[in-house]
Structure formats: C-alpha cells, structure tokens
Amino acid sequence: MSAIWTMIAKRLALGVLTLFVISLIIFSATEMLPGDLARAVLGQSATEETLAAFRRELGLDQPAHTRYLNWLAGALQGDFGTSLANKRPISDLIGTRLGNTLFLALYAAAIAVPLSLTLGVLAALFRNTFFDRSANALALTSISFPEFFVAYILIFVLAQAGLFPSMTRIDANTGFGESLYRAFLPALTLTLVVTAHMMRMTRAAIINLLASPYIEMARLKGMNPMRVILKHALPNALAPIITVVALNLAYLITGVVVVEVVFVYPGLGQLMVDSVSKRDIPVVQAVALIFAAAYVLLNLTADVLSTLSNPRLIHRK
C-alpha cells in the first residue's frame, strides 16, 4: 500500500512542478505581446498622465518578476484580479463560464465514452468483418476533419432542418432538459471528434489481449466469445483504455475553444477568444491557467488509475 501512496505523491509533485512551469510560460508569453497594454486599453487619445496612472493601477510600473509573483500568489488564492474590459472580478466571470464548459464536456463524455467502448468491443469481437471495416472507416473519417468543419456540417444538416438550434444560448435560468437540447450540437461535435480515438484504442487493446494464452484457453473451453471479451480481456485492457479516456476528457475541457466559438456557447473558450480580441490580458492568463490545470490534473488521474489497474506497474523489478 505504501508503494501506491509513494507513486501518487510523486505524480502530484510532478504535476505541481509542471503547473509552475506552465504558469511561467503563460505569463512570459503575454508579457512578450507587442504594443503598449495601457495605450491599447485607453486608446490613442489618452494623455501621458492618464497612461501613467493606469500603469500604476495595474502594477505595470513594477518589475516583471514582481508582477509574476503577485499574480501567482493571487491565482493560488483564487483571485485572478479584475477584468480590464468590464471592470468585474475575473473570478465572477469565470465561475459561470467554467460551469458551462464542464457541462458541455461531461455531456459529450456521457455520449462518447459508452459509445466508443461499445464500438471498440464489437469491432474487436467481429474483427475483419464488414462491421469492423465500416466502424474504422467512419472513425478515421470523423477524426480527419477539424472540429469547425464537423460543426458546420452538423449545423447545415441538423440546424437548417430546424431540429436543433445553431447557436447555444444557455444561462442560469435555463432548465436542465432545455440545456441538453440546446447544447446537443456542440456536444455531438465533440463526441464525433473524440470517439474515434477511444474506439480504436479499445479495439487495439482487446485484440492484443485476445492472442494471450489464457484467452485461447477460455476459447478452447467453449466459452461464449462476448463473455471472453467482457470477463477476461476487457478488465486486463483497462490500463490503456483508462489512459486514452482520461486524455480525451482532458481534450473535451481544454479543446472546446473552436466549438464554443462556432456555436456561440457561453463557456471558457468563448470568454478567452473575446478577451483576446479586447486585449483583456488578465482574463486570458486566468483562462489559460485553468485550462492547463485541468489538462495536467486529468493526465495525472489517468496515470494513477492506469497504474492502479495494473499492479505490475507498481511493483516493478
């Protein structure tokens, strides 16, 4: 048991170090943006006195390392500062948007994970059949197109027919059922993008295990092929499957920017794009850090779960 906790502690320490490096990269990247932030916000007609006062208010007159440490300390406490565009605390802006992004990601995951696992198992069971070839062809087709292309195709086919709205308008007053209906097209877009990867990984992992001696023994005993896969092959294929599912869940949270922009979905991705256009640097930094934290956390979760599902990875010799 101590080996497990040691492994988890090492992964967490690595995750914290990774987030620190990412925060440094995010801050440095925004620092290197061309132009004068104060003049970009106040306009060309602003006087030098007004610009100087604005720089003091934002702390732009301080050294870069001081501003970074202050920003990092505030971020650790959940205080990302104030938005330059609307003078509201960034935490208030992010709260609702983060909930909307998580709702969309979980909605897509609730469709994609069971669908991809089922298709992967069936493709492995009926290997080299028409179903297997068709599933692989559809998977490769869906993963080959970028998200915005898939989104526009769905809008053209389903939204133009009046089945679903082309723009996703949800707020705190929207009911759960209505939110599911309005967010169906962006969720379906994300589902089509991530299902292929998870399905093919599930298929490959199970086919690899089907050649194992204990699987051959189960077959020789006359066990039902579906039972062989579900009872013997699938549990031993959990490590790679958990990894690919967690990585795709990370993508669902961090890779929603394009989909949210296409469907005008009020999530973190749309907020980030709007903030970039308005040169609202504090909001861009906060959203980028949240995306990075979510990605690192889900990667660590995948690493830990895949290791726990395979004890040989814990007790290495």
Looking at the DSSP bridge assignments, the partners of residue 89 are 82
pLDDT of residue 36: 63
The string of pLDDT tens digits covering residues 8-21 is 788 888 888 998 99
Q: What is the set of domains in the chain, with CATH numbers?
A: 2-76 (no CATH), 98-313 (1.10.3720.10)
The residue type of 196 is: A
Its pTM stands at 0.81
State how far the alpha carbon of 61 is from the alpha carbons of 43, 48, 213, in Å: 19, 14, 69
d(CA 61, CA 58): 8
Evaluate if residue 3 carries a pLDDT over 60: yes
Give the percent of the chain with pLDDT over 70: 91
Evaluate if residue 5 carries a pLDDT over 80: no
Evaluate if residue 210 carries a pLDDT over 80: no
Which of 59, 93, 94 has the alpha carbon at shortest distance from 73?
A: 59
Q: Would you state the structure tokens that stand for residue 112, as one six-digit string?
A: 């994609």
Which of 176, 183, 179, 313 has the alpha carbon at shortest distance from 243?
A: 313
Evaluate if residue 313 carries a pLDDT over 70: no
Evaluate if residue 199 carries a pLDDT over 80: yes
pLDDT of residue 294: 87
The mean per-residue pLDDT over the stretch 144-173 comes to 84
Evaluate if residue 226 carries a pLDDT over 70: yes
pLDDT of residue 21: 92
| 237, 206 Cβ separation under 8 angstroms | yes
pLDDT of residue 315: 56
Tell me phi and psi for residue 79, to 5 degrees: -110, 105
pLDDT of residue 244: 81
The string of pLDDT tens digits covering residues 27-78 is 888 777 766 666 666 666 667 777 777 677 777 777 878 888 888 888 888 8
- What letters, b where the CB count within 10 A reaches 16 and e where it falls short, cover 54-88? bbeebeeeeeeeebbeebeebbeeeebbbbbbeee
The mean per-residue pLDDT over the stretch 163-186 comes to 85
d(CA 17, CA 28): 17
The string of pLDDT tens digits covering residues 100-127 is 888 988 899 899 888 988 888 888 888 8
Average predicted confidence (pLDDT) for the chain: 81
Evaluate if residue 317 carries a pLDDT over 60: no
Looking at the DSSP bridge assignments, the partners of residue 11 are none
The mean per-residue pLDDT over the stretch 182-201 comes to 87
Evaluate if residue 95 carries a pLDDT over 70: yes
pLDDT of residue 311: 61
| 40, 278 Cβ separation under 8 angstroms | no
Tell me which of 314 and 178 has the higher pLDDT. 178
pLDDT of residue 245: 81
Tell me which of 278 and 35 has the higher pLDDT. 278
Which stretch of 195-204, 251-260, 261-270, 307-316 has the lowest confidence by average pLDDT? 307-316
